């Protein structure tokens, strides 16, 4: 079969071209890779024990403590290094769940139509009415500590409807193309036509929305830690911001790095993802590719 859009095999080449031919896209890629290396390779280079020292509470920046110390006398830089893994991988897992549900249900709804389409649209309407914050409050009341995997699972389960509707609209358009009609004439079966012929031609669109889903999920998990909905003993950028707020770090000049550093890391990672998604959209969208 020959589709009118770029085949899935050429998506990665288009992704690389889109990121390297655009200055903003390349800088975004460098930002994302830099934060990932800092968060996942950094813990291998620092002393992860980071003991409490009451004599160093809110200590200033110096050669030994590059970003000073926090309200417990712990090294802020070490906490910053250790605090990136959880929100990033929770965001990625949540985005994978979101995109997987949206692609499968959106593809089925757009291709099969009829009663199935009506039922799935009703399901999206019901899911969209679930108050996310209230749901997390209920979960926090039952579990003293919610595992990162559970958090990712919940975020993924409540954020798929918006993307599902977009996927459905894309499939509704693709199902009328000639290559899909040819596949129907060969009686290849609904599952094969949908998942082999139709959905691969949306790989670029899905990949861009996957990046957007990561940014939304990270904002969600950091916001929940900031609001105290997810108590955790693990180092986490959102938890650092919450602890800084609870201990009035904004009133102490020496405590400023403990409050600002995790915010800067989150901003850098999000800016990198956003600039990457814009460059990728221009590279993968046929209507924008030649502009």
CATH number at residue 142: 1.10.3720.10
- Classify 187 as helix, strand or coil: coil
Per-residue pLDDT tens over the stretch 130-166: 887 777 777 766 665 667 788 888 889 888 998 999 9
Query: Per mean pLDDT, which range of 7-11, 177-181, 229-233, 261-265 is the poorest?
Result: 7-11
Domain assignment present for 83: yes
Let me know if residue 239 belongs to a domain.
yes
Higher pLDDT, 1 or 172: 172
Residue 282 within any structural domain of the chain = yes
- Would you say residue 61 lies in a domain? no
Judged on CB neighbours under 10 Å (0-12, 13-18, 19+), 134 is exposed
CA angle 235, 220, 45 (to 5 degrees): 30
- pLDDT-derived band at 257 (thresholds 50, 70, 90) equals very high
Range 62-72 average pLDDT: 92
Query: Residues with Cβ < 8 Å from 231, sequence gap 6 or more?
Result: 140, 144, 145
Report how far apart, in Å, the C-alpha atoms of 84 and of each of 115, 216, 265, 280 are. Answer: 44, 16, 8, 25
Residue 102: the pLDDT is 95
Residue 187: predicted pLDDT: 76
Inside any domain, residue 187: yes
Mean per-residue pLDDT of the chain? 84
Q: Which domain holds residue 109?
A: 8-37+75-289
178 Cα distance to chain centroid: 35
> Is 60 a member of any domain?
no
Residue 47 resides in a domain: no
Q: Which residues contact 177 (CB under 8 A, 6 or more apart)?
A: 3, 4
Q: How many domains does the chain have?
A: 1
Would 50 be classed as within a structural domain?
A: no
* Percent residues over pLDDT 90 in the chain: 41
């Amino acid at each position: 079969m020959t589709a009118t859009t770029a085949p899935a095999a050429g998506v990665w080449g288009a992704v690389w071209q889109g990121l390297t031919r655009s200055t903003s896209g390349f800088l975004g890629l460098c930002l994302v890779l830099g934060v990932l290396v800092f968060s996942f390779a950094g813990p291998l280079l620092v002393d992860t024990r980071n003991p409490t020292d009451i004599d160093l509470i809110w200590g200033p920046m110096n050669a030994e403590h590059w970003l000073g110390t926090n309200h417990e006398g712990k090294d802020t830089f070490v906490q910053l290094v250790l605090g990136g893994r959880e929100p990033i991988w929770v965001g990625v897992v949540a985005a994978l769940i979101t995109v997987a549900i949206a692609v499968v249900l959106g593809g089925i709804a757009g291709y099969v139509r009829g009663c199935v389409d009506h039922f799935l649209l009703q399901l999206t309407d019901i899911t969209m009415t679930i108050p996310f914050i209230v749901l997390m409050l209920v979960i926090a009341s039952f579990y003293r500590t919610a595992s990162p995997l559970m958090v990712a699972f919940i975020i993924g389960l409540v954020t798929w409807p918006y993307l599902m509707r977009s996927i459905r609209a894309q499939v509704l358009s693709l199902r009328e193309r000639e290559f899909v009609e040819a596949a129907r004439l060969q009686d290849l079966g609904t599952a094969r036509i949908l998942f082999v012929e139709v959905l691969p031609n949306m790989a670029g669109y899905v990949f861009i929305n996957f990046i957007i889903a990561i940014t939304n999920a990270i904002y969600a998990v950091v916001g929940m830690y900031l609001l105290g909905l997810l108590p955790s003993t693990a180092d986490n950028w959102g938890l650092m911001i919450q602890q800084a707020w609870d201990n009035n770090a904004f009133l102490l000049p020496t405590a400023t790095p403990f409050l600002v550093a995790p915010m800067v890391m989150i901003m850098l990672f999000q800016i990198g993802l956003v600039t990457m998604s814009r460059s990728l959209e221009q590279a993968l969208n046929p209507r924008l590719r030649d502009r």
